[in-house]
Amino acid sequence: MAGIAGIVASPLRALRTGTSMAPERTRLLFIVGLMLAPWLWRLFAPLPSVTVDVGLGGLVVAGLFVGVGVRMGNGCTSGHGVCGLSRFSLRSLANVAAFMGAGFVTVAVLRHLLGRRSLFALVSGLVFGLGLIAGGMTDPAKVKGFLDLIGPWDPSLAFVMGGAIAVGVFAFEAARRRTRSWTGDPMEIPTSTVIDPLLIGGGVLFGIGWGIGGFCPGPALVALSGGLGSAGIFVAAMLVGMAVHDRLLIKR
């Protein structure tokens, strides 16, 4: 039974739980043999050429999806696809239909509808939205609890912002050394250092609205998508406010 996902996961589970590695010997030897195959091939002929058409970010996202997926579905192309179908397993057939279908759709969308740039934009928004939900930013009551310095103050959002800034420091430092982003677009980092009344006034107006509604743009869009009707009212009013600004201060 050469289910690679299970063979790789079993020794990792033993390491994580501190159980004996002795039962994992054959699995480890299988993995060693698997990874020795290219070296043996090279003794007789060059390895076949391969083409990787996805960048670092895409590989990380793909690896995460595959890692979670094979453990959740308890198998992969070898486990369910080869071994499972060879046993006429309906369970494996269902899994194979799911991953083949998802694979067909993903390639069709990425190659023929979106492209790599759109994929990065979509995944970036998805990750950002998940972070907003996990951090509690989509909950107006939690936001107002953070802004309430007179009542029972909730400092948890300070840690959310602090964590984001800590990551951003390293991310922007790396970005400054690049001329292009992972998508191939020019790296555009704001360079303005002007502090003027519009900058301060805009911050004050935003802060007042944030304190009244408990929403800022990103969390409001996420909450709207999640079915929160009040977020829809906020987003509609926000769009009107943006339009009013552009009409009044378009020459800025």
What gap in Å lies between CA 121 and CA 128, rounded to an integer? 10
Q: For residue 131, list its beta bridge partners.
A: none
Q: Which of 149-153, 197-201, 231-235, 236-240 has the lowest mean pLDDT?
A: 197-201
CA angle 201, 223, 172 (to 5 degrees): 60
CA 206/CA 243 separation, integer angstroms: 15
Q: Please state the domain extents for the chain.
A: 4-37+54-114, 118-189+196-248
Cβ-proximal residues to 110 (8 Å cutoff; 6+ apart), any chain:
116, 119
- Please provide the DSSP assignment of 2-26 as one string: --HHHHHHHHHHHHHHT--SGGGHH
Per-residue pLDDT tens over the stretch 43-77: 999 888 888 777 777 788 888 888 888 778 877 77
pLDDT at 251: 54
Per the model's pLDDT, the better-predicted residue between 130 and 251 turns out to be: 130
Q: Express each pLDDT in 82-119 by its tens digit.
A: 777 787 888 888 988 988 898 888 888 777 776 667 77
Mapping DSSP to helix (H, G, I), strand (E, B) and coil, where does residue 186 land? strand
Q: Is 180 strand, coil or helix?
A: strand
